Amino acid sequence: MSSPEPALLALDFDGVLCDGRPEYFATTCLAYRELWPEIGCGAHLDAFRDAFYAWRPAVAHGWEMPLLLHGLVTGALTDAEPVSTHTWGTHRPTLLAESRSTPAELGGLVDGVRDDWIERDLPDWLGHHNFYPGVVPRLQTWLAQGSPQLAILTTKAGRFVQQLFEAADVDFPTTWIWGREAGRPKVTLLAELVAQGHAPLWFVEDYRPTLDRVTQTPGLETVCLFLATWGYNTPAAAAELGTIQPLTLNHWHLDLKDWRTPAASPASAPAPPSHCRGR
């Protein structure tokens, strides 16, 4: 018999709980000016904000952000190309080579300018983030009642997530936040949680390739998967979802047992998938 609610609800952070695009863009500009000062310090980078937001769904990791901006500034990326992870993947190696940096170095650069910004002006940094409507009260309710157990799986450094929760008055246990410092992809973390006996386990993510990877990973068949359609993705990402279920922002106001029904979802929302059986 399938359980209607999760024992453990694993959530991505950026694009699921929090809209951090203004912060991402500002941090990226700071990093870009250090990486390519001869271009970045003279260019009017704000002119590329809308294009950066449009391309954001195609990008998985923070280290890619300065490369994305460089692609836009130099014209390597244009409006004529479809925004997709595939298109971005065809440009990324060239842009990475031009940076003369490794992904780890770029990640360190992005985190470094972010740390400097936080130290310089924490309120300003916090003000560049917006939790999506309904998220904070719902998290506070779940945390207060102690059920379901919540976990954050994010490619962002965990210390930044802690800062944002703290500012939003969300008392989230740090031991249940797995950030980039965990050094393991989300599929591995999910497999560990499954092995620890957390079931039913639900996972909400806005980056479609990550969800697809979970569906292709043996042993994770019982994990119930949800696509956050309000996050950093494109309409194409919500097509042909298969066993992945779409969520809208309205779901934050529904009982968890109703997340697996078509209520408040597009008419095409699939019935509870067979691979998501719970235990």
Nearest distance in Å: CB 196, Mg ion:
23
Q: Is 205 helix (H, G, I), strand (E, B) or coil?
A: strand
Nearest distance in Å: CB 88, Mg ion:
15
d(CA 135, CA 133): 6
Q: Which is nearer to Mg ion, 161 or 201 (CB)?
A: 161
Question: Of the ranges 90-98, 114-122, 164-172, 204-212, which one interacts with Mg ion (CB under 5 A)?
Answer: 204-212
Q: Which two tokens stand for residue 23?
A: 């912060």
Q: Which residues contact 203 (CB under 8 A, 6 or more apart)?
A: 10, 11, 153, 186, 190, 211, 214, 223, 224, 225, 226
Long-range contacts at 243-247 (CB < 8 A, ≥ 24 apart): 243/215, 243/270, 243/273, 243/274, 243/275, 243/276, 244/211, 244/215, 244/273, 245/269, 245/270, 245/272, 245/273, 245/276, 247/204
Q: Which is nearer to Mg ion, 209 or 262 (CB)?
A: 209
Nearest distance in Å: CB 249, Mg ion:
15
Q: Which is nearer to Mg ion, 15 or 66 (CB)?
A: 15
Q: Which is nearer to Mg ion, 17 or 96 (CB)?
A: 17
Q: Which two tokens stand for residue 165?
A: 């929760």
Nearest distance in Å: CB 178, Mg ion:
14
Nearest distance in Å: CB 231, Mg ion:
6
Q: Which is nearer to Mg ion, 15 or 272 (CB)?
A: 15
Nearest distance in Å: CB 58, Mg ion:
12
| Distance from chain centroid for Cα 226 | 13
Q: Which two tokens stand for residue 163?
A: 């800062």
Nearest distance in Å: CB 210, Mg ion:
8
Question: Of the ranges 18-26, 96-104, 113-121, 200-208, which one interacts with Mg ion (CB under 5 A)?
Answer: 200-208
Q: Which two tokens stand for residue 1?
A: 């018999």
Q: Which residues contact 73 (CB under 8 A, 6 or more apart)?
A: 32, 39, 40, 43, 45, 48
How does DSSP classify residue 181? G
- Cis-peptide into 148, omega within 30 deg: yes
Q: Which is nearer to Mg ion, 18 or 72 (CB)?
A: 18
Does 246 contact Mg ion by CB under 5 A? Answer: no
Q: What is the x/- site pattern for Mg ion, positions 10-39, by CB under 5 A? A: --x-xx------------------------
Q: Which is nearer to Mg ion, 134 or 209 (CB)?
A: 209
Does 206 contact Mg ion by CB under 5 A? Answer: yes
Residues that bind Mg ion (CB under 5 A): 12, 14-15, 206
